[in-house]
Amino acid sequence: MISDEEKNAIWTEIEKMSPDLLQTFLSLKTIDEAKAYLRDLLSERDLRELAMRWEVAKKLDAGVPFSEVQDEYKQSYTTITKINRWLKEGCGGYRMMIDRLKKK
């Protein structure tokens, strides 16, 4: 099980380093704004990593077997397992967003 410390320890550091970072995400109003901001903020590699993790989480949530997810996204078993662990035991962020998008 993922400990509360492991789930939340990073936020003390991030909020000290950049107190308004999370607020910037909440202020985005359109897809185009999100694209512009994320493109400036993250490298192409970071963006691809985020997209891959999101897609893998959705596939795992839908019950797609690890081996199929590995083949489709060319990721190691370890990476798929980590994403699945956070999907199942994490802070609930994946679950929250998957459920919200299902409602649309």
pLDDT tens-digit map of 21-77: 999 999 999 999 999 999 999 999 999 999 999 999 999 999 999 999 999 999 999
pTM of the model: 0.90
Does residue 1 sit in the same domain as residue 28?
yes
Does residue 30 sit in the same domain as residue 66?
no
Does residue 96 sit in the same domain as residue 54?
yes
Does residue 48 sit in the same domain as residue 99?
yes
Burial, 16: exposed, middle or buried (Cβ in 10 Å; 0-12, 13-18, 19+)?
Answer: exposed
Looking at the structure of the chain, the number of domains it has is 2
Does residue 99 sit in the same domain as residue 64?
yes
Residue-number span of the structural domain to which 68 is assigned = 43-104
Contact yes or no for 57/83 (Cβ under 8 A):
yes
pLDDT at 104 (0 to 100): 77
